């Protein structure tokens, strides 16, 4: 059983006594910076000069400095740039400017676990990884709630790295729901597996195949969209609230019976064998190597796949339907039809 830490296990005063630099102001960056500030922590945001996020962070009332200067001023440096650029930001602007005893924080273990970043011995190396998108991390905090977090320590130079990680987790709302103890290896491998096999890769492919099957059989694309995509959220909400059992309790007996007889016909045991192959590629570092090699070339494979998937017919059908109930989407930095992120 995982060890779980709550508000009473963490001392907020610890992180309040430090200057924290948040590097990057994207999904996680804005949420960490604002939650820390609202928890009484001294925060500076480190951004590239000319970054479009500078104005956003300043408008939110935050201090912004170039990455090198933000790092030089900080006791705790949380690195929240995209995983594939962390290695370069680290080498160019972070490592050369670190205070000798600064703690280095991550929200995902990728760069430490796969050895793309190796901090010298004097630094605490910690992870506080919210198990949710940054926009939820912010929204929940504002509502007095919090997204559960994972926390761990890869290097304990100060002797109090874990206490510092828990204090940070508390300041972003992570010990309200509970912060779970893990390791960099476990977080990195399970996170990559979950997103590849189930949450992102698995679900996306399942939706596309379901849509294709109905449309190829002559049904209207709008009906196909409703049945294999729109209703997914309603089902997932039930699973989130009470597991598969609550979901099956809420759906009709017809749907539940169909679940039992047809689920295993679609997701056959060889799917599990393929999942094991995906996990093996993650564990061996093969996936990380392929991802980073492509990114280092300017991401030709990644961008080609993104374009192919954006052009799948379900995307066009979905856009038309969702515009009928536009109140559904709420993120002010996401524009439908302009999915490519800056």
Q: Judge contact between 179 and 150, C-beta under 8 A.
A: yes
Name the one residue in this structure whose structure tokens are 């006594």: 17
**Is residue 81 a contact point for ligand NAD (CB under 6 A)?**
yes
**Is residue 51 a contact point for ligand NAD (CB under 6 A)?**
yes
Residue nearest to ligand NAD (CB): 26
For ligand NAD, which is the closer residue by CB, 91 or 239? 91
Give the Cα separation of 106 and 88 in Å (integer).
Answer: 15
Q: Residue 174 touches which of Mg ion, ligand NAD, none (CB < 5 to 8 A by kind)?
A: none
Q: Residue 44 touches which of ligand NAD, Mg ion, none (CB < 5 to 8 A by kind)?
A: none
Q: Residue 258 touches which of Mg ion, ligand NAD, none (CB < 5 to 8 A by kind)?
A: none
Tokens of 8: 């009473």
CA 237 to chain centre: 19
Name the one residue in this structure whose structure tokens are 């992870």: 127
* Local structure of residue 10 (DSSP, 8 states): S
Tokens of 223: 């009906």
DSSP per residue, 119-162? --TTS-EEEEEESS-HHHHHHHHHTT----EEEEEEE-SSS-HH
Residue 30 known to be catalytic: no
Q: Going residue by residue from 262 to 291, which x/- string records binding to ligand NAD, judged by CB under 6 A?
A: ------------------------------
For ligand NAD, which is the closer residue by CB, 109 or 210? 109
Q: Going residue by residue from 173 to 192, which x/- string records binding to Mg ion, judged by CB under 5 A?
A: ------------------x-
* Closest among 41, 47, 58 to 22, alpha carbons compared: 47
Q: Going residue by residue from 133 to 172, which x/- string records binding to Mg ion, judged by CB under 5 A?
A: ----------------------------------------
Residue ranges in contact with Mg ion by CB under 5 A: 191
Residues serving a catalytic function are: 108
């Amino acid at each position: 059983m995982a060890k779980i830490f709550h508000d009473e296990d963490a001392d907020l005063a610890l992180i309040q006594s430090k200057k924290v630099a948040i590097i990057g102001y994207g999904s996680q960056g804005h949420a960490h910076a604002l939650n820390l500030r609202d928890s009484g922590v001294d925060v500076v945001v480190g951004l590239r000069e000319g970054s479009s996020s500078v104005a956003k962070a300043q408008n939110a009332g935050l201090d912004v400095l170039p990455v090198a200067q933000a790092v030089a001023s900080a006791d705790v440096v949380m690195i929240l740039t995209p995983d594939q650029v962390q290695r370069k930001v680290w080498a160019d602007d972070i490592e050369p400017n670190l205070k000798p005893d600064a703690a280095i924080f991550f929200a995902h273990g990728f760069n430490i676990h796969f050895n793309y970043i190796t901090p010298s011995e004097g630094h605490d190396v910690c992870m506080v990884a919210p198990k949710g998108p940054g926009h939820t991390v912010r929204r929940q905090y504002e509502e007095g709630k919090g997204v559960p977090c994972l926390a761990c320590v890869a290097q304990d130079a100060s002797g109090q790295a874990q206490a510092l990680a828990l204090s940070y987790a508390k300041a972003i709302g992570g010990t309200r729901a509970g912060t779970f103890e893990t390791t960099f290896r476990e977080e990195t491998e399970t996170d990559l597996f979950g997103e590849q096999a189930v949450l992102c890769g698995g679900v996306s492919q399942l939706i596309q195949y379901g849509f294709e099957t109905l449309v190829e059989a002559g049904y209207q694309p709008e009906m196909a969209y409703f049945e294999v995509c729109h209703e997914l959220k309603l089902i997932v909400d039930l699973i989130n609230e009470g597991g598969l059992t609550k979901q099956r309790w809420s759906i009709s007996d017809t749907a539940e019976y169909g679940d039992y007889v047809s689920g295993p016909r679609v997701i056959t045991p060889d799917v599990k064998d393929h999942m094991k192959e995906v996990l093996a590629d993650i564990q061996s570092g093969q996936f990380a190597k392929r991802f980073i090699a492509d990114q280092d070339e300017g991401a030709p494979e990644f961008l080609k796949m993104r374009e192919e998937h954006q052009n799948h017919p379900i995307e066009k059908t979905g856009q038309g339907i969702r515009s009928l109930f536009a109140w559904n989407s709420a993120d002010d930095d996401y524009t439908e039809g302009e999915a490519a992120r800056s």
